[in-house]
Amino acid sequence: MMNEKVHKLLNQQINKEFYSAYLYLDFSNYFKARGLDGFANWYLIQAQEERDHAMLFYQYLQNENQAVALDAIAKPDKVFTCDMDVLKAGLEHEEYVTSLINDIYAEAYEVKDFRTMQFLDWFVKEQGEEETNANDLITKMELFGSDPKSLYMLNQELGTRVYSAPSLVL
């Protein structure tokens, strides 16, 4: 039987992951309105990944015969004044999600829920990659964003990103 607090945290994470998808859809909308279709594509794919992360938590709870409660998803409320604000908000959000995953892992460790810890191992690695990607976007924007030709090339690069479903097997 899964510990009640671990169950609650895992269930809350479903909502947090769906919120992340909403947030990245909002980012995609921002860039689409700015005419930066490559950036819009990059964040659209981020949204798809976050939706899949939510479904992995959902499926894990179901596989463990645990109830799943779906909560309302909050509307993203950030207002951006420039492209860099969006990128920095993305990094800040990924760091927040990392802290959430770490909190669940710590609680699972506390109660010796090794199955949940093993499930979370993939997310720990994934969050490292997410933070690296967010940092890389900021670095590229700092290097190239002020030059229209370079921004065009970066936008083209981000437009080539394609969706790849997570490889975690439950």
Which domains does the chain show, CATH number per domain? 4-159 (1.20.1260.10)
| Separation of alpha carbons 14 and 21, rounded Å | 11
State which amino acid sits at residue 42. W
> 43, 138 in Cβ contact below 8 A?
no
Over residues 53-67, the mean pLDDT reads 97
pLDDT tens, residue by residue, 64-114 = 999 999 999 999 998 999 999 999 999 999 999 999 999 999 999 999 999
Counting Cβ atoms within 10 Å, is residue 50 exposed (0-12), middle (13-18) or buried (19+)? buried
